[in-house]
Structure 1
Amino acid sequence: MHRQPLSDAEAALGAELGAVRPDLTQPYTAALPGARAAVLSRLWRGLVHEPMPWVVRREAAGDDGVTLHLADGHRLHGPLVDPYATAARVDEVRLDALSYDRPARLMTALAVPHSAAFAAELDHSVASLALSRANRAAATARPPVTSWEWEQRLVDGHPFHPNCRSRPGFSTADQLAYGPEHRQIVRLGLAPVDEALVVGEWPERFRDGGRVLIPVHPWQAAHVLKCPLGEVIEAHPLMSLRTLALPGGGPHVKTTLSARITSSVRDISVYSIETSAIVSDFMAKVAARTDGLLHVTRTLGAVTAGSPDLAAVLRESPEAYADTATGERVVPVAALATTELPRSPSWLADFTRLTLTVCLRLLDLGVALEAHGQNLLVVLSPSGAPRRLIYRDLADIRVSPARLARHGIPAPAMAGRIITDDETTLRRKLFGALVTGTLGATAGSTPVLREALSTAIRDLPRTPDLDTLLEGPVPTKALTLMRLSPERPGDIWTEVPSPLR
């Protein structure tokens, strides 16, 4: 089926590639069938496990797969799908009598509300993923040393999102220049601003007399601000694309990037800037209650010109919390699959125990971390044993004043979306990221995750939060439904079966 003509996005990217990197044209073409299957696998997982309003019934038939009965009378059939599987490959799905191996064409054929726009995103995700895989040698050119080098080894993007590599608005040249998997140096502009809100300490290197210099991503400068870069600094792009590591172990700089990557537009709200120092100081105190098992990268300074389109945050490098001289390594959890670690059952149980111990302790205190594989990093011993955790990017945590009060901890002096006492919201925030995005993606399947969890929880104190995790289904973001529901702002949640049941 892969001999069919290229889709519009595949052909467009291929044509641009022929102009800017002709050496990658053949590897790109060869990578397309695998990229289509990878995106189709993520899409099929969403269709099977998320509450699509136009699916009236799901019917599993053992090894024969699962059939989705649609409201319009059609039937959609494909293989059974493990909600925690990361290596499972779906090569085709049948809609009535027709087989589809391309996710965009399947979505177009379904003809459900907003399917045309989502199909275009899926098409772009396939083409971009094939480009990333075609240039895979760049991501594995030499053994990683720093955490930013580890995360640049991530080629396939989000393990469960069908838009795992969707970067609308990015040309082929943009992706090659700015995508972390392509391992290029990015030249950030420094935009002078006369009147800016500065929180924390903004370094002299980012000042020009009385003016503040705000680091600007070159894509943002060209497509949103429409201004020249001016003075520039060099940096290494991280997996979030808009956050970059300054050379020589310097701080990380989070820039505004008004483009939709996977589900979100990566700008920086004025609220995030205003509350950055309060949240950072508060989290440093709370993390101190974990007996050294968790460190939080502090926000050093934050600045905004009063608009989400022009703002930046400076935070500590994760390497500040590892003894690299003795051989400790800092690895983002999402990059664990690219390491040489054997990830034996005992290793995975140790890692699971560490993450649950830390995250459940913080949740009991009153802080729900969004502990997915991008925000959470693990410090490994020279032999590869998980020793402690590092958490970065505090913009989307949730804090419960009521829980804090039970432990005699003053709540941070702030309001807004971070503050909530709603138990469902707190547990969704943690479990939706930790169980699926961190533990599930690291384990790679339900049986492996079940074994790790079963071993780890024996050593954990029983709390209402742990009981909720053990007794019920696991909350997770309905990533596919969210892209099919542009009229519904914010997150949409669903539930997947507990790996322990």
Structure 2
Amino acid sequence: MTSASGTPDAGAHLRSRPDAAPAVLPAQGAAGPRLSPHRPSCHRRDPLDHPDPGTAADTAAAENLLRCWVRETGTPAPAGDTLRIPLTACGTALRVPVHHWSACGWHRFGTPVLVGAPEDSPPVDAVTLAALLVREARYGARGRSLPGDGADLVGRVADSVRRTAVFLTARRADPETPPGTARFLDGEQSLLLGHPLHPTPKSREGLSGAEAGAYSPELRGAFPLHWLAADPSVLAADSAWTERGRTVPAERLAERLAGPDAVLPEGTVPLPLHPRQAHAVRHLPAVAELFDRGLLHDLGAHGPVWHPTSSLRTVYRPDAPAMLKLSLGLRITGSRRENLPEELRRGVEVHRLLRTGLGERWRSAHPSFDIVRDPAWLAVRGPDGEPVPGLDAVIRHNPFRPGDDAVCVAGLVSPRPWPGRGGRG
């Protein structure tokens, strides 16, 4: 089954099928489509396999920036094996070796060289490259405003490089999948370099080293959830989750996920939070007032550990019937990942729409296709009746059992950047 969610942070997954037709490859010697004027060399050492994790991480970041620049500027493939990027604002240019030009934009580049720089000058690292490209973009946009802050982008590039180096160091030291890890989770934990067309794929500003160890899928993190108990008078919820034809309220689903050992004040409803989010919102004025009035109760960390998926804020437990898409007020790749009210409602609306017959119609035409559903949610309303940003949880259907051969597509094609074990998948 292939599944994809309509939400930005969900990945597509492949589930192997015994009746699936094998891929058809061209016969030996047959002419195939020419996708690129440049072909990757089998004899060239991939710079992502550099023995120093910091160098490999910097290489990956520089390649991402160059791919983004090529895409955003519409730069065509060069006639030869070198791409020249003019830096008019600096009175110079970059010469970039092209190892492979991809029809889908996943180009492979060598280390860029600044034209006119001394031969013994250090290479153009990712942070320097980001600063040069930001300067050039602002020069090219004379008279027009550009979104974002150049210094902010350069800072996020540096943060992304540092974190990627940590991930590579850890995974190279222990590359084997821990015994008993579900295939779905293994795939979600395999995106060490992140999106190949994002300038800062691993930036997580404000996350400490200790927090990164627990909350990062790349480090195979795991943690118990932080639970609050909410008075029903301040709780907003909706559910289209059904069992045997009957709707199960979101409050009941939350009670099941909290488990029988959760000790709740009488008449309250459990609300799961990401531990970092629980700490971040505790002292917001609207939240503090709810605690002072006895409408919210802090239950602390509770229950078995959950595992962060590739989006960080969606957490998975192999034995649970649901995943949880939690708010996380952390700038991940540049944006805060807190659920918006319309996102909460949209998931339930989509699930209801699919149950009207649309889902059956597409499955009859494409039996192996479906999307992951978000059929329920809970949120807390503040004293003014409006939802409190960050105090919410989406309850997502978990179709992936521990033994299922379900693989995140992005993880399936992601490079494995460590010496002697290079390649994809």
TM-score, normalization by structure 2: 0.64
Which position in structure 2 is the counterpart of 1:117? 152
The answer to whether the 8 Å contact 1:139/1:183 transfers is no
Show the 5 A alignment for 1:17-166: 30-51=52-73, 60-70=78-88, 73-80=91-98, 82-83=101-102, 84=104, 86=106, 88-94=108-114, 97=117, 100-110=123-133, 112=135, 113=138, 114-136=149-171, 137-138=173-174, 140-142=176-178, 144-166=181-203
Please state whether the residue corresponding to 1:177 is helix, strand or coil.
helix
1:336 partnered with 2:355: no
Compute the displacement of 1:95 (Å): 5.6
> Which piece of structure 1 moves more, 166-175 or 197-206?
197-206
Mark the runs of 5 or more structure 1 residues left unpaired by the alignment. 1-27, 341-441, 445-501
2:400 to 295, 300, 319: 319
SS in structure 1 at match of 2:329 = strand
Query: How many angstroms apart in 1 are the aligned matches of 2:77 and 2:197?
Result: 22
Q: Is the 8 A contact 2:177 2:186 kept in 1?
A: no
Higher helix share: 1
Q: Distance in 1 between matches of 2:164 and 2:277?
A: 22
Letter in 1 for 2:388: S
The Cα of 1:58 is off from its aligned counterpart by 7.5
| Other-structure match for 2:371 | 296
Instruction: Give me the whole-angstrom Cα distance separating, in 2, the residues matched to 1:295 and 1:59.
Output: 37
Q: How much has 1:36 moved relative to structure 2?
A: 0.3
Tell me if the contact between 2:160 and 2:203 (Cα under 8 Å) persists in the aligned partners.
yes
TM-score, normalized by length of structure 1?
A: 0.55
Name the counterpart of 1:360.
none
Q: 1:88 & 1:198 partners in 2: Cα distance? A: 47
Asked whether the equivalents of residues 84 and 95 of structure 2 are also in contact (C-alpha less than 8 Å), the reply is yes
Aligned residue identity for 1:279? V
Opposite residue 368 of structure 2, the aligned amino acid is L
Identity within the alignment, %: 27
1:252 aligns with 2:323: yes
Q: Which residue of 2 aligns with 1:438?
A: none
Rounded to whole Å, the distance in 1 between the matches of 2:94 and 2:399 is 45
1:216 equivalent to 2:297? Answer no
CA RMSD of aligned residues (A): 3.3
Quick one: distance in 2 between partners of 1:133 and 1:266? 25
Contact 2:222/2:306, CA 8 A, preserved across alignment: yes
- Structure 2 CA distance for partners of 1:222 and 1:261, relative to 1, 3 Å: same
Aligned-partner Cα distance in 2 for 1:108–1:117: 10
Structure 2: runs of 5 or more not aligned: 1-49, 139-148, 240-248, 289-297, 381-386, 417-422
Residues 217, 257 of structure 1: 8 Å contact kept:
yes
Deviations 1:361-405 (A, max 9, x none): xxxxxxxxxxxxxxxxxxxxxxxxxxxxxxxxxxxxxxxxxxxxx
Are the structure 2 counterparts of residues 334 and 64 from structure 1 closer, same or farther at C-alpha, using a change threshold of 3 Å?
A: closer
Q: Could you tell me which amino acid in structure 2 is paired with residue 219 of structure 1?
A: R
Q: Deviations over 1:44-83 (max 9, x none)?
A: 111222139xxxx879342232333535644233234635
Report the equivalent of 2:32: none
Check whether the contact 1:39–1:126 (CA below 8 A) recurs between aligned residues: yes
For residues 175-227 of structure 1, what are the alpha-carbon distances to aligned partners after superposition, in whole Å with 9 as ceiling and x for unaligned?
11110111122121012222111111222335944322221111112234359
Contact 2:94 2:114 in 1 (8 A): yes
Partner of 1:319: helix, strand, or coil? coil
Letter in 2 for 1:32: G
> Aligned pair in 2 of structure 1 residues 110, 42: CA closer, same or farther (>3 Å)?
closer
Retained in 2: the 8 A contact 1:128–1:165? yes
Q: 1:298, CA displacement in angstroms?
A: 2.7
Deviations 1:470-493 (A, max 9, x none): xxxxxxxxxxxxxxxxxxxxxxxx
Kindly indicate whether residue 391 of structure 2 is the aligned counterpart of residue 310 of structure 1.
yes
Question: Which residue identity does 1:39 align to in structure 2?
Answer: A
Higher relative CO (Cα under 8 Å, sequence separation at least 6) belongs to 2
Count of residues paired in the alignment: 307
Contact 1:287 1:294 in 2 (8 A): no
Residue 266 of structure 1 deviates from its aligned partner by 0.9
Distance 1:110 1:318, change over 3 A: same
The residue identity in structure 1 corresponding to 2:328 is: L
Q: How does 1:88-487 map to 2 (within 5 A)?
A: 88-94=108-114, 97=117, 100-110=123-133, 112=135, 113=138, 114-136=149-171, 137-138=173-174, 140-142=176-178, 144-194=181-231, 195-200=234-239, 201-202=249-250, 203=253, 204-205=255-256, 206=258, 208=264, 209-226=266-283, 230-233=300-303, 234-284=305-355, 285-290=357-362, 291=364, 292-305=367-380, 306-319=387-400, 324=403, 329-337=405-413
Q: How far off is 1:443 after superposition?
A: 9.6
- The code of the aligned residue for 1:273 comes to L
Provide closer, same or farther for how the CA distance between residues 229 and 162 of structure 1 changes in structure 2, counting only shifts above 3 A.
Answer: farther
